[in-house]
Each structure stands twice: as structure tokens, then as C-alpha cells.
Amino acid sequence: MDIKARLDLEVDKRNSKDEINLDRLDPIIVAYRYNDASIALVCALFAYGNVKQIVKFLDSLDFSLLQESDEKIKQRLSKHYYRFQTSEDIIAFFIALKRLNEHNSLENVFKRGYESKKNVIDGINELINELYSLNPYSSKGYGFLVGKVTTKTKGAGALKRWMMYLRWMVRDDNIDMGLWNGVNKADLIMPLDTHTFHVSKKLGLLKRKSYDLEAAIELTQSLKNFDKDDPLKYDFALYRLGQEKVF
């Protein structure tokens, strides 16, 4: 069986409603409850580390605070922290996101960067710039959470959590939420993590040795040979094959 046929079988099995076990879908199980782009971004950007700890932390958050005053956000999140993020980092993120939603939407800001060249990296950069401009705050933990503007692909971080968020927002199937319109699935870039990186190299889909944004783009281009319109439909299957050490 060739690689495409094997991956297509995995997609059919793992992306079907009968086979998916939501308990294994990590932070998206929290995002599902709200079906909201802003809450989904919180879930995506905090999606690093131990899965149980991620979900435990997300469950501790009161997302209604995204519609409250700065003071109430500070008061209610003063004792929250998660790995690299202090309570001040989490408060700053909630305030920035709240302010963005007061006059715009994540979708509109993303499209402002994306639409001219149909480049999702430009859209992510626009969102990062907007969050920093609405709440000028800086710390190591906050920089890790929100990220920084990306101007190169070689040697740059793979933007895995941002790319996963875009997959959730743009694709619409049994896994992804499809809350946004007007962004082409073919323009998405693989949310490259260590599992997909290693299994893709073993399958010959990825030759690049560096774990960076250039590798994520290379893998996406390889998967376009299997489905030029929706290369990220293979993401979840590749991730599970790597996680389960099938290859």
C-alpha cells in the first residue's frame, strides 16, 4: 500500500464520528463547549505541555471574563498561572483579547493580513501585532504565549499552536470547527509538532532536518500532492501515527 492510500485510510478511520474519542482530542474538547473563536484561541495558545494539565488549566478559566472590565479580569485571574505564564501574563492576554473583541474580531484582523497575498503567516503576524498594540505588555512568558512577528521561515519557530488554531477555525469536519469563512483550506500550513515531524520524515514526506517553519511548509507542500485543496486533513492522522509510534 502506498503512503497516500495508507494516510487516506487513517483519515477515514480517525476523522469519523464513530471512531473519534473526544477524550483524546486534547484542548479542543474545551473549545468545543463554547464554539467561540476567542475562547478557541485561548485553548490553542495554552496547548503545550502535558495534555491533562492543559485541560485542567483551561477548565479553571472563566471565559466570561473576556467581556468584563480590566479590573475584574485582574481580580479574578490574580491566582492563575500555567507553566511559563504568570498571573500577570494571563491577565495581559485576556485584556488584549477583550479589547480586540470590543472593536473588531479575530477573523477580521487575520484577514487584514492574509488577504493581499493569501499568506496565513501574514495573517498571524497581523493578529500578534494587534494583541501587542491593544495591551503593550512584555515578559518572557507572554512572548512565549502570544509569539512574535515572523519574517523568515528558515530557523523560525513552526508557529504550531497558531497553525493549529487556524486549522480549527478554517476547516470544517468531525474534528475542526469551521467558524471562519473566506480563508482557503489550501493556504493553511501544517501545525508541526514533534510527532508529525518524526513520522513525516520516516514516511519520506519531509526531508528537512530542522524543526522549523520551513519544515512545516515543506510538509504541507508534500501533502498537497495527496490533496491540493485540503492538505491539513492529514494532520490528525499523522499526529496519531507518530504519537502511537506506528512508524
Q: Is the pLDDT of residue 22 over 60?
A: no
Over residues 35-62, the mean pLDDT reads: 96
Over residues 144-160, the mean pLDDT reads: 95
Q: Is the pLDDT of residue 64 over 90?
A: yes
* pLDDT score recorded for residue 226: 96
* pLDDT score recorded for residue 25: 62
Q: Is the pLDDT of residue 26 over 80?
A: no
* pLDDT score recorded for residue 19: 55
d(CA 128, CA 149): 7
Q: Is the pLDDT of residue 20 over 60?
A: no
CB 31 within 8 A of CB 165: no
Mean of the per-residue pLDDT values for the chain?
Answer: 93
* pLDDT score recorded for residue 136: 95
Q: Is the pLDDT of residue 21 over 70?
A: no
Provide, rounded to the nearest whole percent, the portion of the chain with pLDDT above 90: 82
When pLDDT is cut at 50, 70 and 90, the band that residue 4 belongs to is: very high
d(CA 11, CA 5): 10
